[in-house]
Amino acid sequence: MADLGCFADVERLIHRVRTTYGHLDILVNNAATVGQHSAMQSEDGHELTFQVNYLSPALLTAGLFDLLLVARRGRVVNVACDVYRNVTTFDQDSLCDRRYHPAVAYAQSKFALVAHTASLVSACSGTRLAVVCVDPGFTETKLQRQSFGWPGAPVSAAADNVLYAVTKPVNDRGFYVQGKKIVQPASEVLNIPTQRQLDKVTEEVLDMSLPWTATGPLRMGA
């Protein structure tokens, strides 16, 4: 268990996993939150929704990346929400200034997660590591009601959709799953300059080099 609103907690989780396992078959980044009427900062100094929904999953993936690469059939599943389509670019400034709106911040965080997934798909091409993004659908949760104000499908249905993303055959052109259907993601998240900008911001915030941005092909372990 880890609080994704605290980088130190995520780093402790990474350490526990690394000292316990020699490889990792599945990583599902499912944690999410939504902000209040005004921007809330994490103890690390970042807008809380963006940290929990994107920055910490990126940190977790980076910290466990080599364990995923050496697995026989490793897989990263990032749980998204189709509301990311409500924004067309990654705008970090909108997370903290007077334009702040919790729904926009949530959409921005999920836009970043989907663009990050698309970047990972390209980086992992030719390796045994598969990367998938899944929108499990509107689900009857506290976050769902707080964010959108209407009831959703049973949690069991969403869990079944995530399980499908964990087990389904994948290919580089079909990484985004809506329910159990492969759909085309928004063109904006496939934009290479957008992905590079996001990687740069992520590296600056996390103060680390992301392993999937390294020059040259990724190499799997023996």
Domains and CATH numbers, the chain: 7-211 (3.40.50.720)
Q: Which pLDDT value is given to residue 5?
A: 92
- pLDDT at residue number 184: 94
Which segments of the chain have a pLDDT < 70? Answer: 37, 93-98, 139-153, 171-173, 214-222
Instruction: Give residue 92's pLDDT.
Output: 73
**pLDDT value at position 168?**
87
Task: Give the DSSP per-residue string, 94-161.
Answer: GGTSTT--HHHHHHHHHHHHHHHHHHHHHHTTTSS-EEEEEE---BSSHHHHHHH-S--B-HHHHHHH
